Amino acid sequence: MSKLKASVLVVDDEPAMRLLLTSILRDEGHEVTAAASGEEARQLLAKRHYRLVVTDLKMPGISGLELLAQVKRDDPDTAVIILTAFGTVEGAVEAMRKGAVHYLLKPLANPDELRMAVRRILEEKRVADEATTLRQAAEAVFPFGEIIAGDAKMQAALELGRSVAPTDATVLITGETGTGKELMARAVHHWSPRADQAFVAVNCAALAETLLESELFGHEKGAFTGAAAQRRGRFELAHGGTLFLDEVGEMTPALQAKLLRVLQEGTFERVGGTKTVTVDVRVIAATNRDMQRLVAERVFREDLYYRLSVFPIVLPPLRERPADILPLAAHILQQASRRFGKRIVGFTDEARALLQDYAWPGNIRELQNVIERAAILCQGEQILPAHLNLAPTSPTPAAAGPRTLRELEREAILAVLSACKGNRRAAAEQLGIGLRTLYTRLREYGISLEQDAEE
């Protein structure tokens, strides 16, 4: 894991301690500013934002507690570490109650105390910031209070989400790629009593088994090559909140066993560790696979499947909710127009008909890509058919009967591959899955794996 860099303000009235702290943090690659008093620190804080403040508790004039109060009032995103002598630990405890994220005893027994504390704090803030950014991005496209669901099937799915949200039941969301499974998971979290806690998402198909295990459960220092320090996993970072496991059907049997234990007991060990970690996490999983088929083929554990699917929610593909296509397109266009600084008021009748007649194998994600591209190309006030670059598709005849999720997925992959002219990397991005996952699907469905020049 690469070191996270940050702007740090070090505050200590003892020159030797101030120099030591500054040297340790600069060696870590941080941008460090030093202040010899609380008053000097106040002046510096008034001029710029710092990611982290490391301050002595007892100082002449303005104390560390007073400085902490100012930081929490004026710049609450700034993390504060308190330094305190052994005899004033009570003051450090008070500082923690008032918003400090950590405290260290002076003198430092080892420089690693400070290094490890700063690394952990910055990693936790990175995950929290990432979660906030993703939530804001999702809400910008489909605000939770305005999820577009005119279709009865989608309305029923949302009602299920609202019904299960107040509980801690594990939820399994199924549906084709691009139907909005993560958005539904975020909505369930948003409607739940855990809404003010972290929502942490992990794509189980995006990482190799060993990396995914470390990502989920963390690791101890020296657990493997490159594990230079202890690292908390996503389960620990989601403590008190919600962990979203996307593409859970891609998990290996070994990880499935470890996940089952967490769901049953709420405990696990970090990679390379023996200490049992206990967490309180609500798990929401999602997949575009036929999980019952995976269980029948002994690819996925039956006991884990039943643990995950305590409360299943199926999201319909966009072609099965035609009443939502134009409202979704209009909403996405409004957002795209604002983002690109354009004044596009809507679609021509021909463009609307084209949107309505297309089968949308990539579902909402494909719709979003198409509309955003059209907004970039559009030079007037209305989207034209040429901007959409879509060929009308005929709906499947009713006589053909209902198709399985496996058949629909194969058709979606073939359609997107065709649209991407066989470029598998571009197709994986369009489908919202990892390239490794795409190749797995191609083998399963007997689709040629020959490489294309365009890839």
pLDDT tens digits, 270-286: 999 889 999 999 999 99
Residue 409: name the closest of 377, 378, 447 by CA: 447
pLDDT at 403: 55
Exposed, middle or buried by CB within 10 Å (0-12, 13-18, 19+), for 9?
buried
pLDDT value for 447: 75
Span 68-96, pLDDT tens digits: 998 988 888 889 999 988 666 677 778 88
Q: Is the pLDDT of residue 300 over 70?
A: yes
Mean residue pLDDT across the chain: 85
One domain, residues 151 and 257: yes
Query: CB–CB of 177/360 below 8 Å?
Result: no
Clarify whether residues 308 and 375 are in a common domain.
no
Average pLDDT over residues 216-226: 84
User: Domain check: are 307 and 225 in the same one?
Assistant: yes
Would 134 be classed as within a structural domain?
no
Cis amide linkage into residue 312, ω under 30° from 0: no
Whether 268 is in a domain gets the answer yes
User: What pLDDT sits at residue 384?
Assistant: 94
The one-letter amino acid code at 10 reads V
239/117 same-domain check: no
How confident is the model at residue 132, as a pLDDT?
A: 58
| Residue that wins the pLDDT comparison between 48 and 267 | 267
Assess whether 156 and 303 both reside in one domain: yes
Which whole number is the average pLDDT over 398-426? 70
Our count of domains for the chain comes to: 4
pLDDT of residue 3: 60
Whether pLDDT at 427 is above 70: yes
| Same-domain pairing of 171 and 303 | yes
Q: Which residue has the tokens 């100082």?
A: 59
Residue 127: inside a domain, yes or no? no
Do 102 and 82 meet the contact criterion of CB atoms below 8 Å apart? yes
Is a pLDDT exceeding 60 seen at residue 258?
Answer: yes
Mean pLDDT computed over 3-32: 91
pLDDT score at 67: 93
pLDDT band at 221 (very low <50, low <70, confident <90, very high): confident
Give mean pLDDT, residues 51-65.
Answer: 92
Of the pLDDT bands very low, low, confident and very high (cuts 50, 70, 90), residue 141 is very low
The domain in which residue 80 lies consists of 7-121
Residue 109 belongs to a domain with what CATH number?
A: 3.40.50.2300
